[in-house]
Amino acid sequence: MQTEVFSELFPLLSTANPQTLEWLLNVAVDHEYPVGRAVLMEDAWGNAVYFVVSGWVKVRRTSGEDSVAIAILGRGDFFGEMAILDESPRSTDVIALSPVKLLSISRERFIQILFKDPQLHHRMLQLMVRRIRQFNQRLQIRSSPPAVKLAHTLVSLGESYGQDSERGKEIFNIPFKDLAEVTEIGVEETTKIMEKLHEKGWITIDHANNIIYLVNFKQLMNLAGKV
């Protein structure tokens, strides 16, 4: 991967200098995982930062045999940075929702480069603050109707990872169970709302290619209260 492509793919690295990008690419390790494979187990947090080159993953909170999806991440995002910085144990794991390609950079090398490149350090702080702001937005709409909450989830995924196409923004056809858990509503409610959105023509689901098209993104934003 060329440094220019690396920088364009990952917003975290958009302000990093060329030397930093080259160094990161030289020390990064490639990983590929099939659907359903554990990408990161709860006892492995804090060892590395992971970058999603392609595909989709879910972050699950685990408690014994039970687990619940708390976040969905796609191409261009990263995870593992918080565990590196605070070194606290995590009761979460990361599972591949689709075939996924990752790059990992070890804890020691990532911290080393943060000290060497202030621009990268500052950019990571900006993105971490944005994640906190997004989490606060989710808290603010917790008491909203299920349709509003689900629209908020779809819009957030579209804004973060959606690919523009003639049929609307494309996102992965995330299983309704995972959509429901991340949105904090029931699976039955999620199914009914998605069917209603499809009837309205606001979304289209291409099961053959595992794609959800957010056809009427503006209306979804209105429903989510983002306009």
Structure-token pair, residue 114: 């943060």
Question: CA of 104: how far to CAs of 47, 109, 166, in Å?
Answer: 9, 10, 34
Per-residue pLDDT reduced to its tens digit, 183-208: 999 999 999 999 999 999 999 999 99
Residue type for position 118: P
Residue 133 within a domain: no
Which CATH number characterizes residue 170's domain? 1.10.10.10
Decide if pLDDT at 223 tops 70. yes
Structure-token pair, residue 202: 């606001």
Decide if pLDDT at 227 tops 60. no
- β-pairing, 78-79 with 163-165? unpaired
Per-residue pLDDT reduced to its tens digit, 29-65: 999 999 999 998 876 777 899 999 999 999 999 877 7
Q: How many domains does the chain have?
A: 2
- Does the predicted model carry a pTM greater than 0.75? yes
Q: Tell me which residue of 166, 157, 172 sits closest to 224, measured CA to CA.
A: 157
Report the alpha-carbon angle 87-93-95, nearest 5. 140
Question: What is residue 1's predicted lDDT score, i.e. its pLDDT?
Answer: 67
Q: Walk across the sheet containing 211-214 and list its strands.
A: 163-165, 168-172, 211-214, 203-206
Residues 67 and 144 in one domain: no
Question: What is residue 140's predicted lDDT score, i.e. its pLDDT?
Answer: 83
Provide the domain limits for residue 165.
Answer: 140-224
Which CATH number characterizes residue 97's domain? 2.60.120.10
Residues 153 and 99 in one domain: no
Per-residue pLDDT reduced to its tens digit, 150-186: 999 999 999 999 999 999 999 999 999 999 999 999 9
Per-residue pLDDT reduced to its tens digit, 104-113: 999 999 888 8
Residue 125 within a domain: no
Decide if pLDDT at 24 tops 70. yes
SS3 content of the chain, % helix, strand, coil (to 5): 50, 25, 25
Residue % of the chain over a pLDDT of 70: 96
- Evaluate whether 55 touches 85 at the Cβ level (below 8 Å): no
Residue 134 within a domain: no
Decide if pLDDT at 214 tops 90. yes
**Of 120 and 209, which is predicted with more confidence?**
209
Residue 126 within a domain: no
Question: CA of 18: how far to CAs of 8, 52, 69, 90, 212, in Å?
Answer: 12, 20, 36, 33, 36
Question: What is residue 189's predicted lDDT score, i.e. its pLDDT?
Answer: 97
For residue 26, count CB atoms less than 10 angstroms from its CB and return exposed for 0-12, middle for 13-18, buried for 19 or more.
Answer: exposed
Residues 7 and 66 in one domain: yes
Residues 150 and 116 in one domain: no
3-class secondary-structure state, position 58: strand
Name the band, by pLDDT with cuts 50, 70 and 90, for residue 89: low
Decide if pLDDT at 88 tops 70. no
Last residue of a domain, one of 120, 154, 184: 120
